[in-house]
Structures are given as structure tokens and as C-alpha cells.
Amino acid sequence: MKKQTNVPQSDVFAEALLQRTIKTTLSEDIQPKIYQKKVLITGAGGSIGSEICRQVYALQPAEIILVGHGENSIYLIQHELMNWTNQTIKITAAIQEIQDKKGIRRLMEKVQPDFVFHAAAHKHVPLMQNNPHSAVANNIIGTKNVAEAAGEVGVETFVLVSTDKAVEPQNVMGASKRIAEMIVAHFNHNYETNYTTVRFGNVLASRGSVVPLFLKQIEKGGPLTLTDPEMTRYFMTIEEAASLVVKAGTMTNGGDIFVLNMGDAVKIKDIAERLITMSDKQNIAIQYTGIRDGEKLHEGLLEMEERVQMEETEEMFIGKAVITAEYLIDDLLLNYENLAKDALTIELLKIANRHKAHIPMEV
């Protein structure tokens, strides 16, 4: 059973759009590691979080704890899972803000999860560019609260869902996620919990992503709006993204960064043209609007330092997290509320790009 979206969900559609084979990273050997365990998922009502819930459910855990601040989205995924066939899996819903440190700690102490998949985040680049204080509060402080509570209660494995925009970031969203990765890397040395990060490319049908936008624009007769004809991105399906998170959680011993092998980056212009070709409306124009503040033409997947001990399989790349000066993050979190928007943006980018002299190699 799959949640309905505006985007066709078949692998045939995705493969035609991306011109590559869709990867199934879940395999039978990980099932015993999730079986009869307690799994807590933040952002459980979102596009990625809800698919993680579905894939974890199939592995027969003892309990899935659905965490989110959106009452309706958490209700929907709870209702969906509770109507599936395996009635022995306990489904617990928790309406909980990740920015509430005491609330998160209280929840962790109550449910005592074995695995935490942290998918809750603000992810929209233009919105976060204009709201850096919210990016800090949710993506950095929220991550710190969940990750720290996980370590304090003895969670076995914590997985942070991150983004390729965290590699040498040029925008607030990417910088906030990069700093969240730094926090997780530090906690991997401070607690017995195995902390790891999974970096996504663009997720094909997630809320607010480019493909649903293009489909709406096609339905209206166009034009399709693109920022630049040369812009490229790495793409993955929701199912690929969720399965990478789950598999990373069962593979890691801590301190890793997992990236799906998504093949070559794809021109967004090519995605737009393929969607137009697939539609029954062929006379649709493409309009270029110019690169937005903080956007890159091309994204990387791993920084040079992360590749020193990199493992590569047919399915994924596994790099090693780099430890940075913890006091920089502590100072930021103590003072960010007193900084004006532009000053905070500069500070975020400065901390996140502490290896600015190194240029990330393309995978």
C-alpha cells in the first residue's frame, strides 16, 4: 500500500524520467536487525518519514513510534499502518516538537527506542534563505535535542537524514544541515549510540520538489519555470531514499555518511522536457527565471576528507564523517537569536564551510 501523490509512483516512470535503473537497497539480511525492535521516526508524517514507516513496518518491529508536530499528517500515517495486516506491531503516535528539549527527552525515556530515524527538518532552500533563525531552531537545535536524548537513553543507532546541499553549502538550508551533521559526528564519540548520516539527492516526488511542480505547470498548460538550463541535480525516488535510511541504520557502526549511488547528475532541463514529452500537451514552453539566492548549478555528494576511507558498492558510497571544532557550534547556538538575518546567514556559512579550501570531487 502506497500513499497517493501527484507523481506516478512506478519504477517504469522513474526510470524513464531519470534514465537509470531504480535501486532497491533493502534486502532480507537486514530484517533480523529490525525484527522485534522499537523504532522511533521523527517527521513521520512527511513524504520521506511516512515511507520509512512503511518500510520499517515490513521488517516486523515490535513498535513504531511516529513523531511529528503536524497532527493531521501523524494521524494519517498512524491510521494507515494500524489498518495493515500485522496487528502485533504496536503503533504509537506522539505529537512532539523537536525544538522542545525536555519533551523529546521525556518521550525517549518513555518509549526507550532501539533505532531513531531523524527525518524531521525544514528543507526548502528559498524559505530557509529568508528564515535563517527558523533553520537554526529546527534543523540544528532540533537535531541536537533528538540526537542528545538518543545518546542519553542508550539508543542503539541514530540516523540523521541529510542532503547533498550540505556539501560545501552555499545556502542557509544546506549550512544548517551540515552543522547538524557535525553535531551527530561529535555525539558518535560522546555516547555508546552509533550515530550516522544519510545524504539524499533530490527526492523525486517529495512535497515541494520540482517534479510535482512541473506536473502542475503542465496541467495548466505551462510554462515550466526553471532557474538555469545548465543546472543539474542528483535524483532518487522516495522508496530509494527511505530504504537507504533503513539499510544505513542496520549497517553502520557509527561515524559514517551514506549516499545512494544515483548515477550521473541529471539536467533539470532534461527532466522538464521528458515530462512534457510524456504528457499529451506538447506545446509547452520552458521559461528561465535565473538562479535564486544560495543555489548552486551543480551539487556534490561527499567532501574530499570524507572520501579518505570511502567504501563503494553498486548501491551506495560510504564516507567517514570529519570532526570539527565543537565550540563553534556551541557559540552559534548561544548567540544566534541576537544576530540579524544577514549576520546569521554569514555565520552559518562560515561554520559549515570550515574546509572551504577543499573542492568536493564529483562522485
Q: Which residues are marked as active site?
A: 165
User: How far is the C-alpha of 157 from the C-alpha of 151, rounded, in Å?
Assistant: 9
Sign of CA dihedral 60, 66, 255, 355: positive
Give exposure, 239-261, as e/b (b: 16+ Cβ within 10 Å). bbbbbbbbbbbbbbebbbbbbbb
Q: Which of 307, 303, 348 is nearest to 329 (CA)?
A: 348
Question: Residue 27 contacts by C-beta under 8 Å, 6 or more apart in sequence?
Answer: 247
Q: Which of 205, 201, 204, 271 is nearest to 233 (CA)?
A: 201
Q: What is the DSSP letter of 316?
A: E
CB 288 within 8 A of CB 253: no
Collapsed DSSP state (helix, strand, coil) of residue 224 = strand
Give the side-chain half-sphere CA count within 13 A for 24.
7
